[in-house]
Structure 1
Amino acid sequence: MVDRLALTGSVNFIGTAEARLTPEEGALALAARAPHPDLHPHVFLPDDTRLWPRCSR
């Protein structure tokens, strides 16, 4: 779910096609995924805004 007003989101991830996962296993599985190749900042997004997510990790 994405709340565009509060700028928050959540995912209800319960497992893979093969098995259900514990919350800890799910966190590891999601962390191991690579971002989708089409995911990128909007071309008009200012450079300083693009850097913020990388600096906050």
Structure 2
Amino acid sequence: LLPQAWPEYRDRGLAHAEAGHPGHALEDLETYLANATEIGDRRAIAARVDELRRATQ
């Protein structure tokens, strides 16, 4: 990954989630949400983060 290519974090996070790696997914998706600006999918990604958090509890 390029250090500031935030959409790549989102894509890798979603891939981790689909592969059954919620810890890695959360790390990448939270990084994306914290750093990306002007993103149109913030609500969808935040909802996915919430789902992953619930699944890992």
Q: TM-score, normalised by structure 2?
A: 0.27
Greater gyration radius: 1
Higher relative contact order (CA 8 A, sep 6+): 2
Query: Higher strand fraction: Structure 1 or Structure 2?
Result: 1
Query: Higher helix fraction: Structure 1 or Structure 2?
Result: 2
